[in-house]
Amino acid sequence: MTNLVGRPRAELERLLAPEVDRPFRTRQVASWLLERHAVSFAEMTNLPKVLRAALARRFAIADPEVLRRTAAGDGTVKYLLALEDGATVEAVSMPEGARATLCLSSQTGCAVGCTFCVTGALGPGRNLTAAEMVGQYRLMVRELPPSVERVNLVFMGMGEPLLNTQALGTALEVLYESVSPKRITVSTSGIIPGIRWLGGLPRPPKLAVSLNAPDQRRRERVMPISRRYPLPDLLRELRRFPLDGGRRITFEYVLIRDFNDAEEDAAAVARLLRGIPSKVNVIPLNEDPVHLPGLHRPPGEVVDRFGERLRRAGLVVTVRVSRGSEVAAACGQLKGAHQARSATSESCLPALSPSRR
Domains, the chain: 2-60 (1.10.150.530), 65-340 (3.20.20.70)
User: What confidence score (pLDDT) does residue 323 get?
Assistant: 54
Give the phi and the psi of residue 312 in degrees, each rounded to 5. Answer: -65, -25
End-to-end CA distance of the chain: 61
User: What confidence score (pLDDT) does residue 119 get?
Assistant: 73
Question: Which one of 90, 132, 252, 287 is the catalytic residue?
Answer: 90
| Helices (H), ranges, 113-154 | 118-122, 130-142
User: What confidence score (pLDDT) does residue 242 get?
Assistant: 94
- Asked if 319 contacts 145 with a C-beta cutoff of 8 angstroms, the reply is no
User: What confidence score (pLDDT) does residue 345 get?
Assistant: 27
Task: Give the mean pLDDT of 289-304.
Answer: 90
Given a cut of 80, is residue 17 above it in pLDDT?
Answer: yes
Assess whether 264 carries a catalytic annotation. Answer: no
Arithmetic mean of pLDDT over the chain: 90
Q: What percent of the chain has pLDDT over 70?
A: 89
The CA-CA-CA angle for residues 226, 165, 58, to 5°, reads 150
The CA-CA-CA angle for residues 64, 65, 66, to 5°, reads 120
Task: Give the mean pLDDT of 140-150.
Answer: 96
User: What confidence score (pLDDT) does residue 122 get?
Assistant: 79
User: What confidence score (pLDDT) does residue 292 get?
Assistant: 82
Given a cut of 50, is residue 120 above it in pLDDT?
Answer: yes
Question: Which one of 326, 331, 346, 348 is the catalytic residue?
Answer: 331
The CA-CA-CA angle for residues 172, 323, 285, to 5°, reads 90
* CA 300 – CA 349 distance, rounded (Å): 25
In this prediction, residue 356 has a pLDDT band, given cuts at 50, 70 and 90, of very low
In the three-class reduction of DSSP (H, G, I as helix; E, B as strand; rest coil), residue 82 is classed as strand
- Strands 99-103 and 88-96 turn out to be antiparallel
Q: Which of 99 and 348 is assigned the larger pLDDT? A: 99
Length of the chain equals 357
Single out the residue of 312, 246, 321, 323 nearest to residue 282, CA to CA: 321
- Strands 184-188 and 206-210 turn out to be parallel
Given a cut of 90, is residue 339 above it in pLDDT?
Answer: no
User: What confidence score (pLDDT) does residue 21 get?
Assistant: 81
Assess whether 346 carries a catalytic annotation. Answer: no
307 HSE (CA, 13 A, CB side): 20
Rounded to two decimals, the pTM is: 0.88
User: What confidence score (pLDDT) does residue 262 get?
Assistant: 96
* CA 193 – CA 190 distance, rounded (Å): 9
In the three-class reduction of DSSP (H, G, I as helix; E, B as strand; rest coil), residue 98 is classed as coil
Task: Write the CB contacts of 49 (distance below 8 Å, at least 6 apart in sequence).
Answer: none
* CA 7 – CA 12 distance, rounded (Å): 6
User: What confidence score (pLDDT) does residue 288 get?
Assistant: 85
Task: Write the CB contacts of 332 (distance below 8 Å, at least 6 apart in sequence).
Answer: 90, 110, 117, 118, 119, 120, 121, 122, 158, 291
* CA 134 – CA 248 distance, rounded (Å): 25
Given a cut of 90, is residue 118 above it in pLDDT?
Answer: no
Task: Write the CB contacts of 266 (distance below 8 Å, at least 6 apart in sequence).
Answer: 305, 306, 307, 309, 310, 313
**pLDDT (tens digit, 9 = 90+) per residue, 206-253?**
999 999 999 999 999 999 999 999 999 999 999 999 998 889 999 999
Single out the residue of 66, 61, 92 nearest to residue 78, CA to CA: 92
Q: What percent of the chain has pLDDT over 90?
A: 80
**pLDDT (tens digit, 9 = 90+) per residue, 100-110?**
999 999 999 99
Single out the residue of 126, 78, 114 nearest to residue 337, CA to CA: 78
Helix axes 165-175, 192-199, angle to 10 degrees: 30
